[in-house]
Chains A and B, each alone.
Chain A
Amino acid sequence: MFKMNIPGAFLRRSYRLKCTKCLGRSLSTATEEKIEIPARIERGPTDILRALESTITRDITAAHYKYHDDPYLLPMNNLAKRSFAMAQEAGRKAAHWVRSQHPELFNHQECDPPIEAFFPKMVYNENSEVTEEDLKNVIDRAQVSDAILINNLLKAKGLEITNETKQSLLELLCYNNSEDILDEEFIEERWFKQSSGIKDRQRKTWKDASAAEEIFISIDKPTSDSYSAIIQGMAKFNQAARAYQLLEEAQEKGFELNIHAYNSIIKCANFIKENYDLRWSFIVNMLERIKQAGLKPNLGTLNAVLFTLSTMVNSRMVKDFALKTLNEFKSLDIEPSLGSWYYILITFCKDRGPRSAVLKNILNEIENKNHKIQDLSDTHFFVTAMDIAHHHLNDISVGQRLHKLLLFGNNYDLIGDSYKESIYYRHYFSLVLSNVPLQDFMESMYNKLVPNIYVPEPSVMREVIKQIELNALIEYIPRIWSDIIVFNQHNREDLLNLILSVMVDNKPKQDTELVEKFANIGWDIYETIDGQNQERYSNLQFTGDLLGKIMIVLLRNDNFEKACTVMNKLDHQHQSIVGVPCFEALSLFVDHCIKNKAPSRAIECIQYASDSGFPDIITLGAKLNEQLTLDEKHLNRLSKFVDLKLS
């Protein structure tokens, strides 16, 4: 992060040694002052960098630092953010692929001390000469498939491996369900992968008869550790019944399982017991067993209990249990993590349940503190809490306190992934938008967070436009429209219709800049729909209403030529365009025809109106006839569909 800018430097270090003999002498004379040299302040290898980093705040004029800081390369909407970051990672993957295809070209060693990450990875196949050392290495690096392969090779060669290695292999396989996981190096893919867990959480994903189970069986004298590992693995991937069965088996054989195994079983209570009461008694039973085994429960136990409680139906009893559990663990000096609070939140604030202010109490507890990740569920807290602040409480002060907590210290690390982050901001925006004057919202939030930190989704944009209409602050419309284009939302029919109707319904004062800007927006909309690629899958279609509104906006700025183009479109594609424009649009068009002395266009318009079945065309015709002196031809055409005599 921070380096000296001088390309080469030469550090001269000089220190002085104390001569013990001299010291003895100096102590003997009482007049000498005693010299106290302060002890060195211990620091880790990255502590200096972290201290320097703490002086830097987030620069809101720039995108995230993973993007290239150049106007051409800065992403401005969610699609670009995702595709740019993923493209860069794809490039990195390509380089990895080249290296893995030609490892022999990368065998030189330039760096000293050697940096492991730059060297090609060892490739193992059926013919490799392997030893237990190799197996240990791949286990350390969490290369699951390589570990399985090497283990099989060792078995084929008849080499025995020590029980410790077997145990660590078993733990690796159980943790990863005998599958390779995404390399930690590809951080963007992890960030943008939409929370995949949601579906898998409710479904058995444990691979039966997998390598993990083989290893477990192959251990001659299973220990309590190996039982604990396999139980945790099965419970993690929801093979609950067998995990429970193994737990019973282990206890019959008199093994003392570790606390994590019990935690994982408690998390599976939903799969093991059906009834809510049964589940609770199961949990209590398990806690009893922990007590009997002489184990000390930890944060994982607390979270497991709260998780199971949070999945139960909403009743007073469940809430009582949850509070009791919290109290019990508090007396054990176990501090709840954000994940525990997340479970409490979803227990107390159900959609149809009564309103609960538990979030405020939680905030009192966790405010102004630096939180570290201790449980996987910790990352769910912020997004859920903001959702509750928005939908459940609709309390702006809670939302702002929560946001302050998020920005405190390194708490932003707990936001989870890109998906959770954008949902969090969606709730936060909607909450502030509906509770704060629009001007304040635009200044304090919109201008600061958009687009570098958050790009509003179409639904949020719609709310913003609605608020603009409510507050009659139409001067924000041009800004919002340019953002809609930047965010690539100008192909959303609902947004286009909404912004157009806001512009039509809130007529700006004549001869202001806004009139012209509105007309430009209207023409922009016309051109985006007209100029779009016909081969695209989801095409925007003109509707009569839309075109009518565009026409009104254009005519207010006296853009007669452009309005004529729109009218032509209406007239010529009569069959394909759904709906008809409002009568005011047509009437305004006729007025402008009169103003611009273009009777034939007016007649076309009236003809269109008559074809569309408007009853009031007579007034239009009469107006035209009165204010312009029509020649014979025009009169003939007009009289075909308007009975002029009547008027």
Chain B
Amino acid sequence: MNITLIKTIPNILKFPAANSARLLHLTAVSNKNQAGRYKNTPRKNFPLTYEMANPPHQIAHRKSWNSWNTSNVEGGNRPSETAVEDQFIRKFVQGTWHALFVSEIIIKRQHNLIRIAGLVHRGVMPRKMYFLIGYTEEFLSFWLQCPIKMELQSVADKRHVVFKYV
């Protein structure tokens, strides 16, 4: 099998262009926009938040950005570092506040202050939440060497953030 394959390759190269089209396999066009879009489920019971309900092309129309900084303005500094750091913050907060964040994590930067905002489910005791706040703020400020502030809004029930079902 392998041997035959190898043998055919030079043949393809030898063939004129019109014939080679028959031998090359092409898949269907797959450059469809799919990221951040949700399909309908059969029972229409998949919950979406407002953020999820609006596909990415609605950013700046119906919803706004999750990261606010000056790195991407004309002549802004550290664009790549900022993107990587924001990703780190998101991963770290998602992991530390396991299953507690019910919205995207919003990161706003002003000068060297980083503010992390979001909706938090009231799933743990307030005391534990304070521990997590202190830990996250201090750890991230060691890592990013900026003062960090958490600005949370607690949500009594996860269903309160559901915008629609698909």
**Which residues of A approach B to under 8 Å, CB–CB?**
3-5, 7-8, 68, 70-73, 75, 80, 83-85, 87-92, 94-96, 98-99, 106, 109-111, 115, 118, 120
Contact flags B64-90 to A (C-beta < 8 A → 1, else 0): 000011100100100001000000000
A75–B130 alpha-carbon span in the complex (Å): 11
B127 interface residue, CB < 8 Å from A?
yes
- Contact check, A4 vs B138: say whether CB atoms are below 8 A apart: no
**Chain B hits for A73, CB < 8 A:** 126, 129-130, 152, 154
Tell me the minimal C-beta distance from A63 to chain B in angstroms: 12
B45 interface residue, CB < 8 Å from A?
no
Nearest chain B residue, comparing its CB with the CB of A73: B126
- Contact check, B111 vs A118: say whether CB atoms are below 8 A apart: no
**Chain A hits for B128, CB < 8 A:** 87
Question: Out of B70, B132, B135, B142, which one reaches A118, CB within 8 Å?
Answer: B142
B21 interface residue, CB < 8 Å from A?
no
B20 interface residue, CB < 8 Å from A?
no
- Contact check, B70 vs A68: say whether CB atoms are below 8 A apart: no
Q: Which of B128-149 contact A (CB under 8 A)?
A: 128-139, 141-146
**Chain B hits for A92, CB < 8 A:** 134-135, 137-138
- Contact check, B142 vs A106: say whether CB atoms are below 8 A apart: yes
**Chain B hits for A88, CB < 8 A:** 130-131, 133-134
Most chain A CB inside 10 Å of its own CB: which residue of B68, B70, B136, B145: B145
Most chain A CB inside 10 Å of its own CB: which residue of B81, B109, B110, B146: B110
B166 interface residue, CB < 8 Å from A?
no
A91–B136 alpha-carbon span in the complex (Å): 8
Contacts A8-B76, A70-B154; A91 near B131 (Cβ below 8 A): yes
Nearest chain A residue, comparing its CB with the CB of B76: A8
- Contact check, B109 vs A7: say whether CB atoms are below 8 A apart: yes
**Chain B hits for A7, CB < 8 A:** 68-70, 108-110
Contacts A68-B130, A110-B144; A8 near B154 (Cβ below 8 A): no
B112 interface residue, CB < 8 Å from A?
yes
Question: Out of A91, A96, A106, which one reaches B143, CB within 8 Å?
Answer: A106
A109–B146 alpha-carbon span in the complex (Å): 11
Nearest chain B residue, comparing its CB with the CB of A105: B143
Question: Out of B70, B126, B139, B145, which one reaches A109, CB within 8 Å?
Answer: B145
Sample 24 A-B pairs with CB under 8 A, ordered by A number.
A7-B70, A7-B108, A8-B69, A8-B73, A68-B129, A71-B154, A72-B129, A73-B129, A87-B127, A88-B131, A91-B134, A91-B135, A91-B137, A91-B138, A92-B137, A94-B134, A95-B142, A96-B138, A110-B81, A110-B145, A110-B146, A111-B112, A115-B145, A118-B142
Nearest chain B residue, comparing its CB with the CB of A80: B126
Number of B positions contacting A (CB below 8 A): 37
Question: Out of A70, A94, A120, which one reaches B135, CB within 8 Å?
Answer: A94
B63 interface residue, CB < 8 Å from A?
no
A-B interface, 10 closest residue pairs, ranked by CB to CB distance from nearest: A91-B134, A8-B70, A91-B135, A95-B138, A88-B134, A72-B154, A87-B130, A95-B139, A111-B145, A91-B131
Nearest chain B residue, comparing its CB with the CB of A72: B154
Question: How many A-B pairs fall under 8 Å by CB?
Answer: 95
A212–B66 alpha-carbon span in the complex (Å): 56
Question: Out of A5, A83, A87, which one reaches B110, CB within 8 Å?
Answer: A5
Nearest chain A residue, comparing its CB with the CB of B111: A3
B94 interface residue, CB < 8 Å from A?
no
- Contact check, A84 vs B113: say whether CB atoms are below 8 A apart: no
**Chain A hits for B144, CB < 8 A:** 110
- Contact check, B131 vs A90: say whether CB atoms are below 8 A apart: yes
- Contact check, A68 vs B145: say whether CB atoms are below 8 A apart: no
- Contact check, A3 vs B113: say whether CB atoms are below 8 A apart: yes
**Chain B hits for A110, CB < 8 A:** 81, 144-146
A96–B138 alpha-carbon span in the complex (Å): 8
**Chain A hits for B132, CB < 8 A:** 91
A111–B147 alpha-carbon span in the complex (Å): 11
Tell me the minimal C-beta distance from B59 to chain A in angstroms: 17
Contacts A73-B129, A95-B139 aside, 19 further interface pairs with beta carbons under 8 A come to A7-B110, A8-B76, A72-B129, A73-B154, A75-B126, A80-B126, A84-B130, A87-B131, A87-B134, A88-B130, A90-B134, A91-B130, A92-B134, A92-B137, A92-B138, A95-B135, A106-B142, A106-B143, A110-B81
A98–B141 alpha-carbon span in the complex (Å): 13
A43–B118 alpha-carbon span in the complex (Å): 38
Question: Out of A95, A98, A118, which one reaches B145, CB within 8 Å?
Answer: A118
Tell me the minimal C-beta distance from B144 to chain A in angstroms: 6
Most chain A CB inside 10 Å of its own CB: which residue of B126, B143, B154: B126
Nearest chain B residue, comparing its CB with the CB of A6: B110
Contact flags B11-42 to A (C-beta < 8 A → 1, else 0): 00000000000000000000000000000000
B153 interface residue, CB < 8 Å from A?
yes
Question: Out of A68, A95, A106, which one reaches B152, CB within 8 Å?
Answer: A68
**Chain B hits for A72, CB < 8 A:** 122, 126, 129, 154
Most chain B CB inside 10 Å of its own CB: which residue of A70, A85, A99: A70
A111–B143 alpha-carbon span in the complex (Å): 10
A118–B110 alpha-carbon span in the complex (Å): 18
Question: Out of B110, B153, B154, which one reaches A3, CB within 8 Å?
Answer: B110
**Chain A hits for B109, CB < 8 A:** 7
**Chain B hits for A89, CB < 8 A:** 134
Tell me the minimal C-beta distance from A85 to chain B in angstroms: 8
Most chain A CB inside 10 Å of its own CB: which residue of B108, B129, B130, B139: B130
Nearest chain B residue, comparing its CB with the CB of A79: B127
A87–B131 alpha-carbon span in the complex (Å): 5
Tell me the minimal C-beta distance from A75 to chain B in angstroms: 8
- Contact check, A83 vs B127: say whether CB atoms are below 8 A apart: yes
**Chain A hits for B112, CB < 8 A:** 111
A269–B110 alpha-carbon span in the complex (Å): 57
- Contact check, A68 vs B135: say whether CB atoms are below 8 A apart: no
Contacts A73-B154, A106-B142; A95 near B110 (Cβ below 8 A): no
Nearest chain A residue, comparing its CB with the CB of B155: A72
A29–B84 alpha-carbon span in the complex (Å): 65
**Chain B hits for A75, CB < 8 A:** 126
A99–B73 alpha-carbon span in the complex (Å): 34
**Chain B hits for A85, CB < 8 A:** 130
Tell me the minimal C-beta distance from B136 to chain A in angstroms: 7
A111–B137 alpha-carbon span in the complex (Å): 17
A106–B146 alpha-carbon span in the complex (Å): 13
**Chain A hits for B150, CB < 8 A:** 68
**Chain B hits for A68, CB < 8 A:** 129-130, 133, 150, 152
